[in-house]
Chain A
């Protein structure tokens, strides 16, 4: 089996991307637009600008401004959905960071299901009737970077995080426009680079990643290339580029059939109430080292030409994987070091007892789909990073 892959979102990137929104709405035959924004996008003026552009055309707009919490909660989603339903909207635009994005996806799912009861499994069969357009402004905590994929994390009534997946909540458009992206400090940009590059490489290494998902890995690496290899690049100048790289990396990361690494990181982040990126950054180096030998020859050679180091091609086959991944490990470690991120799970508060149950939980979750090597990988990864 060579795999299954689907990316439903139209990715629209660059100058005046916003100005094309009206055309997309028109194409979908929609006139009643629901816009959900977080308060940060209101205060930066991003939502004003979006409003101006949309109102230019013949549509009715209903606004919901959400003062978002740290996580997307079911209460907020239900509230937003009620307004969506009462105003008989047909098209959702979400402007903001990852929290409001998760809420918008939940609203879309509710609208498609015709019910606020979204934690069942019925979302797999619902028809995709309501278009959802994401206009990212920010990636705050990386706890659930879901731009571009059919996956949302929502906290239920008991404050337990629940992951929703399926075609019926995936976005239909992603609009990346410089003017919407919130300016952030350089270290945040650095974190994003680590995430984009790390996710891309992990997707290449996981077993049975479909070719089309790998395509997005390489596209993300291409988009982030300057940030990796050109020290003179002023990160602040290209926040949209990095978000674009993240969107692509994210599509690859979630498109890899069985992403064991993602499961481990999510498990630890949730268990210890840590930022996803923090755990990710702590474990990425080790995972790259462990999984390097899983890269297939063609991808190794493609990464070789990507790093632009002609010396790579003089190496014997068996040394290439280590070498090329070494280049990436070096760059990522340097960034992580500058950021002052911890290197071990112990520093993050994970104990050997935790390790035991993390391993059990993750293995239970991924088997029987996972291979022996993948299970061994989980154990090695956790024990080593402790």
Chain B
């Protein structure tokens, strides 16, 4: 195989508590924005995040040319078109989006529809099919600590007509800047914190093992894993201090950088399948899927698991684990850790309780098989393997 890699992530990553106040307007000015469209959803409207963002744009003396908050869960093609038209009519020159991954990925899609002068998003579907368009500055503000959408070059948008997801990968999707500020997630529920953090972990871990990993993305991933190790439990304990949440958000962004450079594997294809059929958030599925796919991939990733064990375990436990056991301990630990944390959260549902059953395993497997993420999975995966993983989830077996 040729010895070649590339690493690209031009996003200006601005992190810190209250960085919305200190940096948002300044960054918009630096990018020459005069008339901004603000994208968000009802959740952020009800919980105050949208207000914080609007206030700070206004305070900087920048015009808000439109606000759109009806972005549905997982986005969709129609909404992307509607927002793009709204931007054109109101002559907005830039985008600010605050929300979860549905909002951020919708914003990214709106951006390329505009910069590519397209009518519909599906014209642009695919991998690197888009050339550099005109400039449309975009700033993203996540309100979760998982997907890493705020720093990635990937958008997954629902196509309601075909009950499918459209995936677009192109560097044109990168935002100019991302502001990582825990005041925007201070009231996120504990189950969401846990699932998001495991989503970020999965992004980091898959990026280390996947076929396109490189020295830079790998270090991004290690850093993310370590931060999650050191902050997740503290963040779940809660309290007024949001410093641990801030760290988790930063970890999610680092993991996002890693995965957008190295791409993902079958953890994500299976989670996408589950998310479509059960209509749950992709992060909801990760905690239960991740350790089982890692177990399946072990023969091609043993060495990497061993290395990553150092970043996920307390150091002394890593040192006392014999070398030949490290890979196995890695995925077993992830499984046990997730289950243990989940038990600590009241009323947190399992995938089975979300509707996973023997009746929909085939359908989920079908969707998962179609997903492009399998191509970069370190080990070839087929329908039998996916079915076994789903059955094990149902039966509570690793």
Residues of B within 8 A of A216 (CB): 216, 219
Q: Of A22-30, A66-74, A114-122, A132-140, which binds chain B?
A: A22-30
Q: Of A55-63, A206-214, A274-282, A345-353, which binds chain B?
A: A206-214
Q: Are B13 and A210 in contact (CB under 8 A)?
A: yes
Q: Are A2 and B15 in contact (CB under 8 A)?
A: yes
| Size bin of chain A's contact surface | 35 or more
Contact pattern, A 11-45, Cβ under 8 Å of B = 1, otherwise 0: 11111110010000011110000000000000000
Task: Name the interface residues of A324-383: CB closer than 8 Å to any CB of B.
Answer: none
How many Å from the CB of A102 to the closest CB on chain B?
21
Identify the interface centre among B9, B135, B310: most chain A CB within 10 Å of its CB.
B9
| Known A11-B8, A218-B222; contact A125-B32, beta-carbon cutoff 8 A | yes
Q: For A14, give its contact among B2, B135, B216 (CB under 8 Å).
A: B2
CA distance A222 to B14 in the complex (A): 26
| Known A26-B131, A298-B226; contact A8-B10, beta-carbon cutoff 8 A | yes
Q: Are B315 and A301 in contact (CB under 8 A)?
A: yes
Q: Are B223 and A211 in contact (CB under 8 A)?
A: yes
Residues of B within 8 A of A4 (CB): 12-15, 23
CA distance A20 to B215 in the complex (A): 20
Q: Are B10 and A222 in contact (CB under 8 A)?
A: no
Residues of A within 8 A of B250 (CB): 2, 211
Is A7 in contact with chain B by the CB < 8 A criterion? yes
Is B345 in contact with chain A by the CB < 8 A criterion? no
Q: Are B8 and A28 in contact (CB under 8 A)?
A: no
Residues of A within 8 A of B223 (CB): 211, 214-215, 218
Contact pattern, A 290-333, Cβ under 8 Å of B = 1, otherwise 0: 00000000100110010000100100000000000000000000
CA distance A328 to B398 in the complex (A): 42
Q: Are B6 and A6 in contact (CB under 8 A)?
A: no
Q: Are A7 and B132 in contact (CB under 8 A)?
A: no
Residues of A within 8 A of B227 (CB): 211
Task: Name the interface residues of B50-66: CB closer than 8 Å to any CB of A.
Answer: none
Is A1 in contact with chain B by the CB < 8 A criterion? yes
| Known A211-B254, A223-B215; contact A305-B310, beta-carbon cutoff 8 A | yes
Q: Are A28 and B4 in contact (CB under 8 A)?
A: no
**Residue in B closest to A4 when the chains form the complex, CB atoms:** B14
Is B78 in contact with chain A by the CB < 8 A criterion? no
Is B330 in contact with chain A by the CB < 8 A criterion? no
How many Å from the CB of B75 to the closest CB on chain A?
26
Q: Are A17 and B131 in contact (CB under 8 A)?
A: no
Residues of A within 8 A of B246 (CB): 2
How many Å from the CB of A383 to the closest CB on chain B?
35
Is A142 in contact with chain B by the CB < 8 A criterion? no
Q: Are A215 and B9 in contact (CB under 8 A)?
A: no
Residues of B within 8 A of A16 (CB): 2, 4
| Known A15-B4, A17-B4, A212-B257; contact A219-B216, beta-carbon cutoff 8 A | yes
Is A287 in contact with chain B by the CB < 8 A criterion? no
Contact pattern, B 244-261, Cβ under 8 Å of A = 1, otherwise 0: 001000100010010000
CA distance A295 to B332 in the complex (A): 32
CA distance A17 to B5 in the complex (A): 8
Residues of A within 8 A of B19 (CB): 1
Q: Are B13 and A12 in contact (CB under 8 A)?
A: no
Residues of A within 8 A of B218 (CB): 219, 222
**Residue in A closest to B170 when the chains form the complex, CB atoms:** A27
CA distance A4 to B178 in the complex (A): 10
Is B362 in contact with chain A by the CB < 8 A criterion? no
Residues of B within 8 A of A155 (CB): none
Q: Are A10 and B8 in contact (CB under 8 A)?
A: yes
Q: For B12, give its contact among A6, A125, A214 (CB under 8 Å).
A: A6
Is B7 in contact with chain A by the CB < 8 A criterion? yes
Q: Are A215 and B7 in contact (CB under 8 A)?
A: no
**Residue in A closest to B307 when the chains form the complex, CB atoms:** A305
Residues of A within 8 A of B131 (CB): 26-29
Q: Are A11 and B132 in contact (CB under 8 A)?
A: no
Is B93 in contact with chain A by the CB < 8 A criterion? no
Residues of A within 8 A of B220 (CB): 212, 215
**Residue in A closest to B247 when the chains form the complex, CB atoms:** A2
Q: For B132, give its contact among A20, A29, A215 (CB under 8 Å).
A: A29
Is B161 in contact with chain A by the CB < 8 A criterion? no
Residues of A within 8 A of B216 (CB): 11, 215-216, 219, 248
Identify the interface centre among A4, A8, A215: most chain B CB within 10 Å of its CB.
A215
Is B319 in contact with chain A by the CB < 8 A criterion? yes
Q: Are A222 and B132 in contact (CB under 8 A)?
A: no
Task: Name the interface residues of B1-56: CB closer than 8 Å to any CB of A.
Answer: 2-17, 19, 22-23, 30, 32
Is B85 in contact with chain A by the CB < 8 A criterion? no
**Residue in A closest to B9 when the chains form the complex, CB atoms:** A7
How many Å from the CB of A35 to the closest CB on chain B?
20
Task: Name the interface residues of B153-177: CB closer than 8 Å to any CB of A.
Answer: 171, 177
Using CB atoms and an 8 Å cutoff, list the residues of chain B in contact with chain A: 2-17, 19, 22-23, 30, 32, 131-132, 135, 171, 177, 180, 215-216, 218-220, 222-223, 226-227, 230, 246, 250, 254, 257, 310, 315-316, 319
The 4 A-B residue pairs with the shortest CB-CB distance in the complex, in nearest-first order: A14-B4, A6-B12, A10-B8, A1-B16
Known: A6-B10, A211-B15, A214-B223. 7 other contacts (CB 8 A): A7-B9, A13-B6, A16-B4, A127-B32, A211-B223, A219-B218, A222-B215
